[in-house]
Each structure stands twice: as structure tokens, then as C-alpha cells.
Structure 1
């Protein structure tokens, strides 16, 4: 069995870098301050807060885009004093106009179904207008013309509480799950919050070894939904806060492709956990998580020995000292 320390190394590697977190903070702070300074819109604002994986601390570093930029996704919630009598399309247009008015350092890319998409050199942001609805919120849906129930603070509280149930291991497992999806993509969906809920439902709460916990989670997901998928049936999985179906945007084709990946990689993960040979186990885990999963100690020692020999041959001495552990990466990491 591969030591738990290897999974901790991987988690450290895919964690948001301090640079990316700082860039994200600058980007969303700029947007929030911009809206509060708009004469025609500031009277509509009752508050604002962050949402999504950034707020729930379940993000992984983002991909580098075609231009070589690393831009995380940040969701900004703007609490407004609009009412359900206001047309969702009008509300989104008002917000878009306020954002376009002398926007500083960002570009309004488009009006989405329920948000405004912004692009900056530091981050990509979705700005979402909502109205208070008791202890929860409603969000405008321009396609249906209705206001839909949502509860970002409830999701944050749920994520925090479930992570406590797992003794702090739920969020790392979510990050491993998201990284696995990136390395072994089966389509656009499911993603994000769906993966978090699946982790909370099907990962073992008391398993402390991340490899075993991940293997069991994939096995449990397959066991729970594979039969329905074979019959072209997509399950209903309820939002833990508002009770709606979190798979509503996932097509049956996307769900079946996802389930096929779950089955294949559950087998790889179990083979990794069952192997007594460290090299074989590592090979299987690198099939699951990609080349960033740390190599075996044998490989590391061999590389270190090779470097030592080259250094001695070049400098005429073998007095170089190499660290016992793999050096931490210095290249900035982001999250998504």
C-alpha cells in the first residue's frame, strides 16, 4: 500500500497557491467596490459575499489557458432589493450595465442564464444578483423568467459541518475527486458542487488513509448508481440545503459516461490498494491521478543518485547534500 504521505504531497501540489489566492482577492474586491460606487446601482445593493468552491475551500489550482494565464473561478453574490415582481432579464441587464460602466481592469464577457461573466488577467468571475427569501435567497433565471431558490451560505455551512463529520478529511477528498475528474475527463458534467455532494454521500467517514477512502468512494458510487445507469436512468440527488435535484443539468449521456469512468478507475484504485509491490501500486495511482502523483521512494533515490553522480563529475567533488524529501514546487499554483 502506498503511504498516506504520498496523497498529502499530491494534495499540497494541487492546492491553490498564495499568489493565486491573492490575485483572486484583488479581482473580486475590485468588482465589489466598483458596484458599490455606481450611482445608478449602489442603491440596489444590500450586501455581497463570495460563493462556490472558492468560498467553501474545495478549489484546486486552475488550468493554464491558451494564453499561458492561470485564472481561478470566483463567484460573487450581490444581495439586492429587487423583488419577484422584477423581471429576471431586467435585473441581469441592470447588473450588466453597472459592471460595464467604466469597468476597471475587467471585461464583461456575457450575460449567462443567472449571472454576469467577467474576465480579468487575475481571475474569471460570475457575478450573481439575488434577493432575500427568509433565511435563504432567490436567484433570477432569465430563461424561465422565474426566481429560483438558492442558498450559498447554506452550502458553505453544510460543507463545513460535513467536513467536521469526516474529521477534516472531506474537503481533501473533494479536491482529489476534482483532480481525478480533470485528469480523466468524461465530459462537461457532473462537476463542482455535484462532486462535493457525491463525496459526502459515498466516502467513508472514518477511513484515515486517503487512498483507501478514495477507492471506497468510487466503489460506493458505482454500487449506488450503476444499475440505474445501465437502464438509462439518472438518479435524483437532492441539494442538501434547498432540496432541488443537483443532477438536473446533467444529461443521461453525461451521467453514463461519468459512471463508466467511475467503474474503470475504481478498479485501478483497488488494484493499487491491494498491491504489495510499491512500484505497481504507484503505477496504478498514477493512472488514477496522473503524473503529479509522487513517484516511489525507489525512483526518487535513483534520481537523486544520478544527480549526485553528475554533480560530482562536473565539480570534481561529491560533497553535495540532497534533501531527504522531494522539494516543494516553487512554480505558482492556482485552483479551479
Structure 2
């Protein structure tokens, strides 16, 4: 096979950035400290710890179109089974809602959800009886045996047993799953996916590419003939709770499709001699390419297409040299196609650039943005403006939020303020932190207040309108 560098680069580039890891670390640290120090809740609070993929170090970086990542925080309380789960959840929700950092808090069946920028936090209260963890289900009013710490320990032991290749393999499978994710397709995820990999992992002496292929082969060999072909669904048991079948919530059709996709992908890479191109088909385009490399690749493809068009024109002009009228028509057709290609190139370039600003908005600190240089960012924005003018369109509200992040980092207060006004005019959610920056650093409060008053719709209590009302209130308090 011999694609060592491809998989090394893949693992490097699907790893969450240092900025992402640092931000997640600060989110969970601040929340844990808040609960531990809360005047009333500290008497109920025994411990908190992060769980899930970040705790197991199997998380992967968010994709461009991914809305939010999940972060799981377990809260160990001193309650017992005689307390209804809904009471504990309501209390935790109230405590979190009292903190101004956690404005969007909602009750869920087994946890309290907290929405933050780019992240959804599941805060899960549990109790301890007989040295065992229990999680409450408020809908069924029952306590369910659980063991989140054992999942973390099991993952570490499995990784050590497999020469530190289990976790990298899990990350590749998670990345593969993202490329296959569709609305109507239920593929194994989380601890179920990890357990399937662990139960079928190949020989760890192999490099990661061989290990991936042998594991995929093993999954097919161990489940297809013995179960799926007989109309049966296998059992995959929780490594922390052996009586818990992780596949019980999946249908035969779900699991059959999972195996079918793996089989198809194996055929793709094997029939193409495990080429990098075939791996790109299976795992998606390598995320390692920079913006410049993507542009170069696309420019090359455009050039090849243009060359083909020109060759066609030359061939036809030779054969039809006496047919002036037809030649003229062909020339017009080529010009139309050239314009179409230019429009497509502009569209791709626009999506690349706006996606790059989105990544900066989500993941880069002000220091990093500023360090790349003002000219660097303004050239990107200038290009986007130029394409917008050709396409007779304007920036949308969510795009103005990306621009605002860049302008704020570059200390371009006027441009930053104009972006906020555009967000308001376009009815796009306005963060209270953005408004605070206007108060502290600019002199445009009056105009922004008027823009907010015009945009606020009476009787509309959506998140966007609520953000406008909060912003207006803050501006009026600081006038």
C-alpha cells in the first residue's frame, strides 16, 4: 500500500487545533469551577469531570459546515435514587441559567444543554450508590446504571494494548463517518463505533493504512455472513457495562447499510491499488491543503478545461473555415462557456475565501488574526467584494459576522461597527460580546441603537430578536 505520508498528514490535519482544544478546556474548566463555588449548589456538588471524545482524546476537528461540536461534562451529586431525576435536572438548569455566560440553557431528558459559540455542552448530573454511577432519565423517571470514567479508562487501555494505534484509528473512522453522514442514514457513532473498532481491530504491528483495511475487512467478516445474511443483528456490548447492548437502538437496516458502505469502500480502494485518489474518494478530500493549494488545483483544472475548449475551436475552425457564419456562432459559444467558467471560478473562489473567514471566526484568536497581517485579510475581503459586485449581490448577515471578527482583531473600529449594523439590518443574531466591544472602543452607540430600534419586531421573541433587545438594553444603560 505504502501511503504512510498520506495517513500521517490526514491524522495531523483532522486533529483539533490548539485553539479549539484550549477553548474547550476553558469552557469545561469555567463551568466546573462555577458549580463547585456556587453558593447553594456547592453543597450538592461532589465532583465534575469531562467525558466523551475530548476526555478520551478521540475528538476530531469540526468540518466547515458543521454547526456545533458536543462537549460532555459529568456532574457528580450527593443525591440518591429516592430523588426524582427531573428535580435534579431542574435544579441544575436553574443554577446554570443564573450565570450570565450561559444564556441559552435547556432541559433535556438526561442532561442540561448549554449552547455556546460553536459548541453544545451536555451537562449530565449523576448520583453514586454502592460505588456505582447512575444517570437519571426524566422522561421515564428511572435511574440507569452508567460508568463514564470506565469508558475513558477502557479507551486508554485499548490504545496501549494496540501500540497507540487504536485512538488514531478511531479518529480516521470518525472522519470517514462524517463523509458518509446523511439525514436518513444512522451510522454507529461514539462508544458504539469505538467498541466495533476495538472488537475487530487488526494486528497493531501494521502501519495505520494496513490496520484500517484489515479492521474494515474484519468488520465485514465477523458480521455479514453470521448475522446480516441471516437477518440477524449482532450484539455489541458496552465495555463499561457488559449487560448493555450498544446496538439495541439500531435496526437491521441501519447496521446492514453500515456494512454495505464499508464493503463498497473496500472495493474502491482495492480495485484502485490503494491509490491516494481512491482514499480521497473514501475519506473525502484531504483537509491538509491550504487555501493557496486549493486555488492552484482549481486554476489548473480550469486551465485544462480551457485548453480542451480551445482545441475544439481550432479543430472546428479548420473543418469549417468556409462557413463563416457557423464559425462565428462557435466563437460566441466559446465566449459564453468562458464566461460560465469564469463565473464558476468566482463562485468556488468565493466559497473558499468565505469558508476561510468562517474558520478564522470560529477558531483563530485575535492575536493570530492580527499576526497574519492587515494587508493579508483586507486583500481577501477586497476579492470577496469584487466577486459580489460582479454577481450583483451583497454580504449576508452571517458573512458580516465573519468580517466583524476580522475587523475587531485588526482594530478597524469603523469597519467593525458597519458590520454590526449590517448584521442588524439583515436580522442576524447579535452577540452581547460584540456590542460590549462597541461600547468600550467606538463612538457609534447612538446610530447602532437606532438601527436596533428599527429592526426589533414587536411580538417576535425569537433568539435573534431577543439578542437585539439585550443589545439595545446594554447600549441604553451605557449611554
2:245 counterpart residue number: 245
CA contact (8 A) 2:202 2:218 kept: no
Partner of 2:14: 14
Q: What displacement does 1:29 show?
A: 1.9
- The number of residue pairs the alignment matches comes to 296
TM-score by length of 1: 0.80
Match of 2:45 in 1: 45
Residue 254 of structure 1, CA deviation? 1.9
Q: Does 1:32 align with 2:32?
A: yes
Q: Residue 287 of structure 1: which of 281, 292, 299 is its match?
A: 281
Residue 102 (structure 1) aligned with residue 78 (structure 2): no
Write the distance in 2 (CA, Å) between the matches of 1:293 and 1:4. Answer: 16
Give me the whole-angstrom Cα distance separating, in 2, the residues matched to 1:168 and 1:100.
41
TM-fit CA distance, 1:252:
2.7
Structure 1 residue 155 displacement after superposition: 0.8
Matches of 2:108 and 2:228, distance apart in 1: 30
Counterpart position of 1:92 = 89
* Residues 154 and 241 in structure 1, CA contact (< 8 A), matched pair in contact too: yes
1:151-188 deviation per Cα after TM superposition (whole angstroms, max 9, x unaligned): 11111111111101111000000000000011122624
SS of corresponding position for 2:275: helix
Q: Secondary structure at the match of 1:74?
A: strand
Q: Deviations over 1:187-230 (max 9, x none)?
A: 24411111111111111132432111111111111111123223
In 1, Cα distance between equivalents of 2:111 and 2:100: 17
Is contact 2:197-2:215 (8 Å) kept? yes
Rg comparison, structure with higher value = 2
Q: Give the Cα separation in 2 of the matches to 1:13 and 1:245.
A: 33
**TM-score with structure 2 length normalisation?**
0.57
Go from structure 1 to structure 2 and tell me whether the alpha carbon gap of 1:251 and 1:130 turns closer, same or farther (over 3 Å shift). Answer: same
Higher relative contact order (CA 8 A, sep 6+): 1
Higher helix share: 2
Is 2:163 the partner of 1:167?
yes
Once the two structures are TM-superposed, the CA of residue 105 in structure 1 deviates from its matched residue by 4.4
Q: Which runs of 5+ in 2 are unaligned?
A: 301-355, 364-479
Q: Is the 8 A contact 1:23 1:123 kept in 2?
A: no
Distance (whole Å) between structure 2 residues aligned to residue 220 and residue 17 of structure 1: 32
Shift of 1:282: 1.3
Counterpart for residue 229 of structure 2 = 230
2:147 corresponds to = 151
Q: Alpha-carbon deviation of 1:23?
A: 1.1
Distance 1:43 1:293 in 2: 47
In structure 2, distance between residues paired with 1:205 and 1:252 = 29
Native 8 Å contact 2:109 2:138 kept in 1: yes
